[in-house]
Amino acid sequence: MLSKKELPTNTQYKHPKKIKGRFAPTPSGDIHFGSLVCALASYLDVKSAGGIWVIRIDDLDTPRLKDGASEQIIETLDHYNLISDEPIYYQSDHLATYREFLNDLIAKNLTYECECTRKRIRSIGGIYDNKCRNRKIKNGRTSIRLKINDQNEVNTFSDGIYGLQQKESYRVSRDFIISRKDDIPSYEYSVVIDDFIQEISYVLRGKDLIFSTFNQLTLQKSLNIDAPEYAHIPLVMNLKKRKLSKSDGALLDKKNFSMNLYLALELLGQNPVEELKSATVSEIINSATINWKRENVPKVFNKHAT
């Protein structure tokens, strides 16, 4: 594993060209059909290219965590033969590393403390106005934001499924939080550090995170570290046309692993052959790996979860 200390200063560090992907669930409950689709797609995408696939447990957001959920998720993925090629990485084991990279951003004068409440930001229309940029550092219990400027901002990227993405076509973004008021590294910040130290080269995840990718790329540029390639897949919706969530209930039929995999492959546009419905999990995974076509993944799933 790499540490920031080993990096040459002021040069862009490049990872060796190794294909490595990951699935990074938050243990706020067991995975549902939508997360299975995401885990499966990220697995097949790297495995079909001869790469390594790992599981990371995003367990920093303590208020959202549920006891036993990590074990449950790992066990569920195991039933689908979605097994990490490396020991499972837990974000909570890496707090010192997040601090180390944060010190680097502080030293580069790219951070500031912000006291603004959500209420204030809502009252100005929901988009942060960089109000605290010139505030003196008091080292109080405040959140820390990254300063976006012409040197570090990334406005475009090429998505492996949705093609060229431009920030202007999404909502305007402003300086974003990298360390929360409760001293927890933010999602956008921690994920960038993890992807870097785990040497992830391909990130495939749900489309709800596509906008966050601009901030993640901006952070990588600020830290002068290598960025993985990104691909986003459509979201599985519930009957109310909202992103399927853990609160939608137990939507994964625990007795029919093969059928769940078959349905996930169908949704991912992989046209699984009928016989796979009754094949074993390992037969389905093997066949799906050989036949995986990223270009067949649709931009919208035309079915909701039932």
Residue 196: φ, ψ to 5°: -70, -50
How many CA atoms are closer than 13 Å to the CA of 277, on its beta-carbon side? 6
58 sits near ligand GLU (criterion: CB under 6 A):
yes
CB of 279 to ligand GLU, least distance (A): 29
Q: How many residues bind ligand GLU (CB under 6 A)?
A: 7
Residue 146: φ, ψ to 5°: -95, 130
CB of 21 to ligand GLU, least distance (A): 10
Residues 187-216 that bind ligand GLU (CB under 6 A): 191, 205, 209
Max CA distance (Å), the chain: 66
CB of 110 to ligand GLU, least distance (A): 22
Name the residue nearer to ligand GLU (CB basis): 197 or 209: 209
**CA atoms of 214 and 209, how far apart (whole Å):** 10
Name the residue nearer to ligand GLU (CB basis): 69 or 276: 69
Name the residue nearer to ligand GLU (CB basis): 227 or 284: 227
**CA atoms of 74 and 256, how far apart (whole Å):** 17
| 33 touches 3 (CB < 8 A) | no
Per-position DSSP letters for 95-149, written without gaps between them: HHHHHHHHHHHHHTT-EEEE---HHHHHHTTSS---GGGGPPP---S-EEEEPP-
CB of 91 to ligand GLU, least distance (A): 9
| 232 touches 205 (CB < 8 A) | yes
CB of 205 to ligand GLU, least distance (A): 4
Name the residue nearer to ligand GLU (CB basis): 114 or 225: 225
Name the residue nearer to ligand GLU (CB basis): 104 or 188: 188
**CA atoms of 245 and 237, how far apart (whole Å):** 9
CB of 9 to ligand GLU, least distance (A): 28
What mask, x for binding ligand GLU by CB under 6 A, covers residues 8 to 47?
Answer: ----------------xxx---------------------
Name the site residues for ligand GLU (rule: CB under 6 A): 24-26, 58, 191, 205, 209
